[in-house]
Amino acid sequence: MTSRTGRRLLALLIAAAVAAGLTLLSAIWRADAGPGKGRARNVILINGDGMAAAQREAARLYLAGLDGRLTMDQLPVSGQLTTSPRDPKTPVTDSAAAATAWATGERTYNGAISVALDGRPLPTLGARAKAAGRATGLVTTAQVTDASPAAFFANTANRSAQDEIARQYVEVTKPDVILGGGEDWWLPAGAAGAYPDKPAGDQSEASRGARGDLIAEARGEGYQYVSTADQLQRATGGKLLGLFANEELFQQRREGEGDAYDAPVSLATMTARALSTLSRDEQGFFLFVEEEGIDEFAHENNGARMLQALGELEKAVVVARDYAASHPDTLVVVTGDHECGGLTVEDTGASDESGVGSSAEDGPFPVKGSGLTFNLDWTTSDHTGVDVPVTAYGPLAEEFTGKHPNTHVHDVLARILTR
């Protein structure tokens, strides 16, 4: 080998080594997703139901101001998720199909709770985490048996079978913590529980289950049942079932038509209590947290209440982020299952070019800390097929960089929860 050839080969080797080093450093930088860059033990998955980029930006302006940032947007890793189902009738998802993609890694038809297109039950993350020895829990401002939490802990061909979903919680998957609304589905018709039938806020609400007294059955399985904020605060010990309303923890109507969001227990409070209970498990835990009001009020084109629900979600994210900051083996993921309302954020000075009804502008809403305002402009009262942002913190957070299908959530979380 000539000296010139040797020098050239050495230069190539050095260049390759430098490139490899930069690639390694790049990987390390990408993995710098907050404390806990090692092995993950816990997962907190937070769903702003119906929340996409426009909802997050409206919340930022309203809650944090022009130069402010939401906690959910300060998580160090960000990306995008697609939301399309595998429904033969539509490319736009509902919450059931979207959550099934998260919970099972398979896309399915709208209305399905963790079953395949042929009706075959699919293994869920909640059940698999439990089988791996982890504690599990769900927290929501919807019914605890609503589509999104149900997909992680039940299998049904139709999301409407909420009493069957409750039965599966108690008898099959047995989440350690179940907190939210929906007492109506846990009791047989005519047998009101802590919340009376036909309340003034909504005369249609009443006990309607067909699987017996599932609250009594849950107690027999070792759950402590609570129905008020005070009872939740005083609850002790192991498994916990808390139902704080007949149905959702709010009334989802158009503005000024009986709409209300005055939850008996806040999402942040339920999240904090769930974490304090689940963290006792030395093998780790999986917690699903959901703010349902974003979607429900967007369906009603009710911007004021939607922003209120986004504020409640943000408070719960703070609880989760603070927990992860002191428990570096915890992954926090914040995203939405789909967008609702076809929302955009507009200047209040422009004329309303989009029409009336479900296309009307909503507002004005103040930009915090300024004299400025903005409008919300709706294009539909239903879901849309746009991508949703995802932000993450903790070990494996870097896996959410870039654009992915919604099944990617399952693929990442399963690496933590099922080993």
> 43 is in which domain, residue-wise?
39-417
Q: What single letter denotes the amino acid at residue 279?
A: S
Which pLDDT score, from 0 to 100, does residue 28 have?
Answer: 29
* Any domain includes 110: yes
* Any domain includes 354: yes
Which pLDDT score, from 0 to 100, does residue 349 have?
Answer: 75
Q: Show Cβ contacts of residue 136 under 8 Å, excluding neighbours closer than 6 positions.
A: 126, 129, 130, 152, 153, 173, 175, 176, 177, 278, 285, 286, 287
Q: What are the φ/ψ torsions at residue 244 (nearest 5 degrees)?
A: -115, 15
User: Residue 394, by phi and psi: left (phi above 0), alpha (psi -120 to 50) or beta?
Assistant: left
The tens-digit pLDDT sequence of the chain (419 residues) is 444 444 343 344 334 433 443 333 233 223 334 544 568 999 999 999 999 999 999 999 999 999 999 999 999 999 999 999 999 999 999 999 999 999 999 999 999 999 999 999 999 999 999 999 999 999 999 999 999 999 999 999 999 999 999 999 999 999 999 999 999 999 999 999 999 999 988 999 999 999 999 999 999 999 999 999 999 999 987 899 999 999 999 999 888 888 999 999 999 999 999 999 999 999 999 999 999 999 999 999 999 999 999 999 999 999 999 999 999 999 999 999 999 999 999 999 766 566 666 667 899 999 999 999 999 999 999 999 999 999 999 999 999 999 999 999 999 999 999 98
Residues 70 and 93: their CA atoms lie apart, in Å, by 27
Tally the domains of the chain. 1
* Any domain includes 319: yes
Which pLDDT score, from 0 to 100, does residue 358 have?
Answer: 60
Full-model pTM: 0.90
The catalytic residue positions are 95
Which pLDDT score, from 0 to 100, does residue 201 have?
Answer: 85
Which pLDDT score, from 0 to 100, does residue 396 have?
Answer: 96
Which pLDDT score, from 0 to 100, does residue 16 have?
Answer: 43
* Any domain includes 3: no
* Any domain includes 361: yes
* Any domain includes 22: no
Strands 361-366 and 402-404: unpaired
Which pLDDT score, from 0 to 100, does residue 360 have?
Answer: 76
Residues 413 and 128: their CA atoms lie apart, in Å, by 11
Which pLDDT score, from 0 to 100, does residue 255 have?
Answer: 85
**C-alpha distance from residue 416 to each of 1, 178, 288, 391 (Å):** 51, 21, 14, 17
Which pLDDT score, from 0 to 100, does residue 20 have?
Answer: 40
CATH number, domain containing residue 138: 3.40.720.10
* Any domain includes 50: yes
* Any domain includes 4: no
Q: Show Cβ contacts of residue 342 under 8 Å, excluding neighbours closer than 6 positions.
A: 378, 379, 380, 384
